Amino acid sequence: MGIRFDSVTVAYDGNVVLDALDLRVEPGEVMALLGPSGSGKTTALRAVAGFVRPASGRVFLGDRDVTDLPPHRRGIGMVVQSYALFPHMRVQDNVAFGLKARRVAKAEIGPRVAEALEMTGMAGYARRYPRELSGGQQQRVAIARALAIRPDVLLLDEPLSALDARLRSGMLAELARLHRELPEVSILYVTHDQVEALTLADRIAVMDQARLKDCGTPQELYRTPRTEFTASFVGNANLLPVTVGDGGVSFAGGMLKVDTGGAAPGARATLCVRPHLVGLGSGPNQLTGTVAEIQWRGSTHRLYVDVDGHRIMADLRELKEPPVHGRPVTLHFAPEDATLLTAGVSGDG
C-alpha cells in the first residue's frame, strides 16, 4: 500500500523540524530517507506511524487519510534502531505482542508467529529471551515482530545502525530478500548510510534541515544530482566552482567542455565530477596541477591534486606507476561525465 505525505509540517515548541514535506511512496516501493543527523527523518517516519501529530498537512496510506487515526489502527509495522524488545518476554511472546494487542484470534497467533520467525531465520529461537540473543538476532526478532501483523507498510528507522559492518551487509541482503517475498508491502527506510540507501532503495529522498532536497532513483541521484548537497551526500564528488560560458564553463583560467543545459552564460554554477570518472594524463577536459596527496586503497589509488587552489580527487585503478607527491600531473574527464549544477550553488543559501 502506498504512503503519501501531503505538505506535512511538524513542529516542536514552535520549531519546525519537518517543513511541508510532499512525498509519495508507491505501493511495493522501497523509499530510503537519507540525510544528516537532525534533518527530520525519524520525525517523518513517526508522522506516518502516528506517534507525532502534524501541525499541518495530511498523511495517506493508500487512499485512506490516516492523519487522525491512532497508531494501532494504521496497519503499520515499525522497527527502530534500538530493537525495543521486551526483555522479560520470550522471542515468541515478543513477536506475538502486536497480534494480541490487535485481538487476533488465539488459534491464529501461533502460526503467524511461526511464519514471521521463519521469514527472518529465527525459527529455532522462539523460546529464548532477548538477553540470550546477539544484536543481529535481536534485530531479526524486531523485524519478525513488525512482520507478524502482516503490515501494509513497513517503517524501518536505521534498523542496522547498531550492528557491525559485516552483520550489516548480511542483514541488508536479508532485507532485500524479505522485500522480494513481500512485494506488495511499501517500505520507508530511514538511514544516514548512503550504501544502505543505494543498495536497498528503489528511490531515495534526500533530506536536509527539515526539508526534502531531492528525490530520485539511486542512479539518477548519483549520475545527475540536482544540488551540491545531493552530489556530496550520495557518493563522493568533486564540486568545482565554475562560470557558465558558451558550450562549456570556465574554471581555473581555462575552458571545460560540458553540457550547460541552457544555463545562462555568465552565471555562476558548480560542476560535479565523480572521482572515479577522472582519468590520468591528457584528454578532452584537462586539469593540470600538483599532487598533494596519494592514498593506496586496495583496488584504487585516491589522488588529491591541487589545481589553481582547488583540490581535485581522482580514484584511479590499476596504476602501475603512481604519480609522485609534489610533482605536476595532468588529469582529464569526458564532457558527458560532468554534471552542471545550477540549483543550490554555494552562496545562494
Ligand X SMILES: Nc1ncnc2c1ncn2[C@@H]1O[C@H](COP(=O)(O)OP(=O)(O)OP(=O)(O)O)[C@@H](O)[C@H]1O
Residue from 42, 186, 194, 230 touching ligand X (CB under 6 A): that is 42
The alpha carbon dihedral of 194, 198, 200, 202 has a sign of: positive
Q: What are phi and psi of 19, to 5 degrees?
A: -110, 100
Q: Min. distance of Cβ 43 from ligand X in angstroms?
A: 3
Q: Examine residue 42 and tell whether it contacts Mg ion (CB under 5 A).
A: yes
Residues 173 to 192: which contact ligand X by CB under 6 A?
Answer: 192
Q: Stretches 36-44, 59-67, 68-76, 193-201: which one binds ligand X (CB under 6 A)?
A: 36-44
Q: Min. distance of Cβ 41 from ligand X in angstroms?
A: 4
Residue 186 binding: pick among Mg ion, ligand X, none (C-beta 5-8 Å cut-off by kind): none
Q: Examine residue 37 and tell whether it contacts ligand X (CB under 6 A).
A: yes
Q: Stretches 30-38, 131-139, 261-269, 304-312: which one binds ligand X (CB under 6 A)?
A: 30-38
Contacts of 101 (CB under 8 A, 6+ apart): 72
- What cell does 262 get? 541552457
- What cell does 172 get? 541488508
Distance CA 188, CA 248 (A): 40
CB-based contact 169:136 (threshold 8 Å): no
Q: Which is nearer to ligand X, 37 or 219 (CB)?
A: 37
Residues 97 to 156: which contact ligand X by CB under 6 A?
Answer: none
Q: Examine residue 17 and tell whether it contacts ligand X (CB under 6 A).
A: yes
- What cell does 157 get? 528507522
Q: Stretches 32-40, 64-72, 163-171, 264-272: which one binds ligand X (CB under 6 A)?
A: 32-40
Q: Min. distance of Cβ 46 from ligand X in angstroms?
A: 8
Residues 305 to 324: which contact ligand X by CB under 6 A?
Answer: none
Which residue, chain included where needed, has cell 586539469? 287
* Residue 203: closest CA among 10, 3, 19, 32: 32
Q: Min. distance of Cβ 21 from Mg ion in angstroms?
A: 15
> H-type helices in 50-127, by residue range?
91-101, 106-119
Q: How many CA atoms lie within 13 A of 7 on its CB side?
A: 2
Q: Give residues in contact with Mg ion (CB under 5 A).
A: 42
Q: Give residues in contact with ligand X (CB under 6 A).
A: 12, 17, 35, 37-43, 192
